[in-house]
Amino acid sequence: MNLSKSILISLSLIFLLISCNESRKNKEIKQDFTAQNKLKYAKGFEIQHFKNYKKLVIKAPYKDSKETYEFILTNSKSSTQLNSIKVPINTIVVTSTTHIPMLELLNVQNSLVGYPNTDYVSSSKTRTLINSGKIKELGNEESMNTELLLELKPDVVVGFSINSNNKMFNTIQNFGIPVLLNGDWIEETPLGRAEWIKFFGVLFNKEKEADSIFNDIENNYLEAKNIALKTTNTPTVISGGLFKDIWNLPAGDSFEAAFLKDANTNYLWENSKGKGSLSLNIENVFEKGKDADIWISPSYHSSLEELKTTNAIYSKFNSFKKETIYSFNNKRGEKGGIIYFEVAPARPDLVLKDLIKIAHPELLKDYEFTFFEKLK
């Protein structure tokens, strides 16, 4: 046998061994995989179950994200796997008020040890913990007091970001504290946002509780939606208001527009394209919306007089004359935080009921508003 044939045979054996090893590894992984917690609406994360651990996969932590973040969740303290988190976690730092209601729904608010800008928190349960010093003030969310945060040694930090280049979060991770980016804010449907309670559920080993809570919210939402369909009356609706001479209102594919559609209203911009906001001048809005039956969320104005004083053209809208303008601006927490911004993402069923009560009050006679109220 010449040298070239020997080399060829040796290489063939090496490739065969590598192929067998890869095949065995893939087979082991498939055998290890047991189930996936299928999400109905949320698109930004996955929960995968394996024999001895779970994997939390964050697919869309911010808009146009091309990165995926994976975390191994295990009950072992000695795990050497990269991005490994021992669960259930005992302590946590979150960075958005929208995370607070989800912790409370799971009854794990006592695990919260730090929060930036605590004055924005409205919940009475969590405010009690803040006032008693059990939750530390961490400063501004964009430049948190990392020295204090590191002293607290939370098991995880749940943050949010507009891109992957966040030096503050990188610093925290370099000290061994996992940072999980929560992308609930970019979900495109109301129930998609609410389903992120399962993200917190898996961290606290409360997946069954999270599933049950979400199922109740989903059922309440769908039941309310079906109630709204019982009427053929679809009042016309406008939304938003002026900010620096630009009127911002929900685009037709936004989650706000989805609420108005599910409340069985005729949102005048429901056929517009886009998942965010439309920026229009007041002349365009007045021309199309001056005769609308209802006006929802007129920016941050808290009274009809304030609206009129801000811009006289507001008083020419039919909804102003009929006093059918509704806002969530006036319902605030102890420190002035707007309750809607904190609670609404976790409880879309209550938002929908508010909107149905506004548009079709005869359908929910005994229901009391949670977020909105009529401007006077």
Give the model confidence (pLDDT) of 182-231 as tens digits.
999 999 899 999 999 999 999 999 999 999 999 999 999 999 999 999 99
Task: Report the pLDDT value the prediction gives residue 83, as an integer from 0 to 100.
Answer: 85
CATH 3.40.50.1980 intervals, the chain? 87-217, 229-374
Q: Three-state DSSP class for 335?
A: coil
Beta strand 69-74 with 54-58: parallel, antiparallel or unpaired? antiparallel
Average pLDDT (365-373) is 97
Confidence (pTM): 0.89
Burial 114-139 (b: 16+ CB within 10 A, else e): bbbbbebbbbeebbebbeeeebbebb
Average pLDDT (255-279) is 95
87 or 2: which carries more pLDDT confidence?
87
Identify each DSSP E strand in 130-204 by its residue range.
Answer: 136-137, 139-140, 143-144, 156-159, 179-181
Residue 246 clears pLDDT 90, i.e. is over it = yes
Choose which CATH entry (3.30.420.40, 3.40.50.1980, 3.30.70.100, 3.30.1240.10) describes domain 229-374.
3.40.50.1980
| Count of other CB atoms within 10 angstroms of residue 106 | 18
Beta strand 69-74 with 84-86: parallel, antiparallel or unpaired? parallel
Indicate the helix (H) or strand (E) that contains 10: helix 3-32
Task: Report the pLDDT value the prediction gives residue 34, as an integer from 0 to 100.
Answer: 63
Tens-place pLDDT, residues 298-332? 988 999 999 999 999 999 999 999 999 999 999 99
Task: Report the pLDDT value the prediction gives residue 280, as an integer from 0 to 100.
Answer: 96
Task: Report the pLDDT value the prediction gives residue 164, as an integer from 0 to 100.
Answer: 74
What is the CATH class of 87-217? alpha beta
**CB-based contact 83:70 (threshold 8 Å):** yes
Task: Report the pLDDT value the prediction gives residue 324, as an integer from 0 to 100.
Answer: 98
Task: Report the pLDDT value the prediction gives residue 63, as an integer from 0 to 100.
Answer: 84
Tens-place pLDDT, residues 9-60? 554 555 555 554 544 444 444 446 666 768 999 999 999 999 889 999 999 8
